[in-house]
Amino acid sequence: MADIDFNGRVAIITGAGGGLGRAHALALAARGAKVVVNDLGGDVHGAGGDASPAQKVVDEITSNGGEAIVDGSDITDAAAVEKLVEDVKGKWGRIDILINNAGILRDKSFAKMELDDVRKVLEVHLMGTVNCTKAVWPVMVEAGYGRILMTTSASGIYGNFGQANYAAAKSGIVGFMNTLAIEGEKKGIHVNSLAPSAATRMTEDLLPQAVLDILQPETISPGALFLVSEAAPTKKILGAGAGVFAVSEMVEAPGVFIPEGARTPEVIAERWNEIADVSKDAAPLGSAFDQTAKYAKLAAKELGIELPG
């Protein structure tokens, strides 16, 4: 297989002042990309601001012969993000890659969680991702090429105690990715998600040291780089951690048609195991419309109806 390189490519990485974002930035720069290191420099809860972490990453890149610039824009500020994109395009003439990585945590059980903690986490993770993606989208459409990587989480896919706000945001990002992958495919824009398990500021108080030692961010970045390369697939969720990589996928059971006369809650309960059986013939669906078409075809077959087309 040919080497994957990013010579001539321009990448914006949010939350790149440390942890995963830093690892992604260094790895991309090492393979030739020009990198925008975006980081507000706040703490893990979203408070404060400090440009020095992002500057240190830029200094690491430039000291190794790469090109990088610092950006301290708040990704929740759509106007600031638009200006960032304009400035980058003005400086380097293009934007090929966006890695939406910035995030915060405000963990509490839902009973104890304040609504402001829900709003803030949604604003940073979900709307921050939307703002950055919205800003680069027309640039990529015009170029006929783009690679966008969302950062989701196992919390958003499977749930996690004390992270209702974070899980909601990360699940929303998957839905966002699914639609943009459909809309971007004919425009040369591939959109994927990374679900990382890494030792970062966001996990250092949650995991034992022995686990943190093997969950270094650098073990994840190879997956991120593949998902923003020319060879990248689209509409995929890649789990990654400690050098392990696994695709997560939502599948749907084949479906059970229940005729009108028997279509009661009691029959649903009686046939639940059959309805919920994903052990055979379960498959992913390409879009919401594909689900509608599936149900219509199954019902039509059982009813003896011939559908057009």
Q: Angle at the Cα of 287 (from 196 to 171), degrees rounded to 5? A: 30
As beta bridge partners, residue 196 has: 240
Phi, psi of 16 (to 5 degrees): -100, 15
Is residue 280 exposed (0-12), middle (13-18) or buried (19+ Cβ within 10 Å)?
exposed
Helix (H, G, I), strand (E, B) or coil at 169: helix
295 is catalytic: no
Residue 277, Cβ neighbours under 10 Å: how many?
14
In sequence order, which residues have a C-beta less than 8 Å from that of residue 200 and are 6 or more positions away? Answer: 18, 19, 20, 217
**Which residues, in sequence order, are CB contacts of 270 under 8 Å at separation 6+?**
none
Distance of CA 21 to the CA centre of its chain: 13
**Catalytic sites, residue numbers:** 166
